[in-house]
Amino acid sequence: PDGHVLLVSRLGFFRVADELPQPDDKADDKADQQAALDSPSPDASALIDSDDPRAASLRPPMPVEGEEGGGDGESGGDVDKVEDEDEEKDEDEEGENIEAEDVPMEAALEEPLDPIELLVSPETLKHYQPAGPDKPLSIDGPLAAGIDPQSGLVVLYTGGTITTFAREASGKYERQARRDLADSLQKQATLAVAGGTILLGREDGALVVIDAATLNEKQTLTPEEEVPPRFVVASSDGRWFAVLLQSRRLYLFDAHSQSLAKAGVWTQGDISAVSFAGDRLRLVDRIARVREFSLPDMRETATWSPDVVPGLDDDDSGWFGTSFNLYKAYRWLLVPTYTVLPKPGEINNAMRYLVTGETTEAVASGANDLSEARHIRRDPWRPIWTSALFVVFLLALACFRIERSEL
């Protein structure tokens, strides 16, 4: 929100960057931090204030005086004393661990009040302070999150439960609403929120339209059977939602008319990414081409297409560079050849479809949400008819050769 990074822990606690100006005495600390980063074996305590009690646990133990050279009896007594104190400390810790079993779960899930320090650059150290909420929210498993660009409403979806948070005047986030959706077995999802509407894309390919205020489900849409979405993004005004499926096909949802339609672009099936720049839609197709469209007429307003791919072409050779030649070979030679040639290795797709009825295969399962996953929808009958056409072509060619040889 407001252009700043919002951190969410696994307990559902939020943290925002402390925007207060740093005191002048922090300059020396930053220099020490840079020196620690540049050293071959940096001391971890150099990144923490010396007055912070956590620094003591990171510093290596100091050697006992007189330990080198065998030491004398007095120093040996000091060593025995330290060992006795360590044994007593271990016994005390064991007793504390036994008593900790009686600690309530709420106390165990309390968020530490200490700020989290992130070294975002050698010169910048940001402090992220706790920003609520008061009660923890256990995030177990994949998480889908979104922020309304207008209101700053935060939406979290995990384990079939959707929860909204709003930032109060105090700067802390408080829980607004919580709802368990009908299908709680879905693990991965992706969502976008804008203009009071939440569009949730589930792993089974369904798109759920949810009211952001009440979390009531308005309708459920299915662009393509068993094809989950990969990206769901929203325009800043909250009217348009772009849904890019794992099949690389793009759909547009109009929040005003509550309707879903396939985007009118001829590169359907070849789109790899989508986003909004204000009220303009931008998509990536043909590997490295970016196009911008106005809505709702889908009129192309700008195009960015690099002639040379950095790192692939040694010189700027224009449209005849190595990158473009590789693209032409892939698009106009490799793809048509692969389409018409038989694919006996894909016969198992037809067998899998006859047994399970599934046509979508997860080839790269994401650890968090659907944007990190990769699903491919395979046509179970394509290897059948391509193999049949190839056999017919070979038989016709053989008959033609035999007939010509007899003449």
- CA separation for the pair 257, 276 (Å, rounded): 19
Which class for 187: exposed (0-12), middle (13-18), buried (19 or more C-beta within 10 A)?
middle
Tell me if 230 is assigned to some domain: yes
- Is 321 inside a domain boundary? no
C-alpha–C-alpha distance, residues 364 and 376, integer Å: 9
CATH number of domain containing 277: 2.130.10.10
Report the DSSP beta bridge partners of residue 162.
157, 179
Query: Is the pLDDT at 183 greater than 70, yes or no?
Result: no
pLDDT of residue 373: 66
Judgement on whether residues 282 and 346 belong to the same structural domain of the protein: no
Q: Is there a domain that residue 154 lies in?
A: yes
Q: 159 exposed, middle or buried (CB, 10 Å; 0-12, 13-18, 19+)?
A: middle
pLDDT at 365 over 50: yes
Do both 214 and 359 map to the same domain? no
Q: What is the spatial distance between Cα 247 and Cα 270, in angstroms, rounded to a whole number?
A: 8
C-alpha 162/C-alpha 285 separation (Å) is: 33
Q: Output the average pLDDT for the chain.
A: 73
Q: Per-residue pLDDT for 213 more than 80? A: yes
- Domain holding 240, by residue range, is 132-304
pLDDT tens-place string over residues 187-197: 788 999 999 99
- Residue where a domain stops, chosen among 304, 327, 352: 304
Contact 164, 214 (CB under 8 A): no
Same domain, 164 and 270: yes
pLDDT value of position 11:
76
Q: How many domains does the chain have?
A: 2
Note whether 172 and 249 are same-domain residues: yes
* Final residue belonging to a domain, choices 245, 275, 304: 304
Q: What is the mean pLDDT of residues 298-322?
A: 62
Q: Indicate the residue among 304, 332, 366 that finishes a domain.
A: 304
Cα angle 265, 271, 274 (rounded to 5 degrees) comes to 90
Going by pLDDT thresholds of 50, 70 and 90, the confidence category of residue 48 is very low
As a whole-number percent, the residues of the chain with pLDDT over 90 amount to 25
Domain assignment present for residue 201? The answer is: yes
Pair of tokens at residue 401: 């050769």
Q: What pLDDT band is residue 246 in, cutting at 50, 70 and 90? A: confident
Residue 280 near residue 301, CB atoms below 8 Å: yes
- The confidence score (pLDDT) of residue 262 equals 94
Per-residue pLDDT at 77 exceeds 70? no
Q: pTM of this prediction?
A: 0.65
pLDDT for 95-122, tens place per residue? 444 343 443 444 444 556 666 766 666 6
In this prediction, residues 13-33 reach a mean pLDDT of 57
The answer on 350 and 278 residing in a single domain is no
Are residues 275 and 362 both part of a single domain? no
Q: Is residue 220 domain-shared with residue 292, that is, in the same domain?
A: yes
Quote the pLDDT of residue 23: 46
Please give the pLDDT value at position 12.
78
* Rounded Cα distance, 203 and 225, in Å: 11
Lowest mean pLDDT among 46-50, 90-94, 127-131, 164-168: 46-50
Residues 230 and 356 occupy one common structural domain: no
Structure confidence at residue 253 (pLDDT) = 97
Give the side-chain half-sphere CA count within 13 A for 396. Answer: 6
For residue 235, tell me if it sits in a domain. yes
Residue 110 domain-assigned? no
* Average pLDDT estimate for 213-234: 91
Whether the per-residue pLDDT at 90 is higher than 50: the answer is: yes
Q: Give the model's confidence band at 20: pLDDT under 50 very low, under 70 low, under 90 confident, else very high.
A: very low
- Is position 314 within any domain? no
DSSP count for the chain of H helices, then E strands: 8, 22
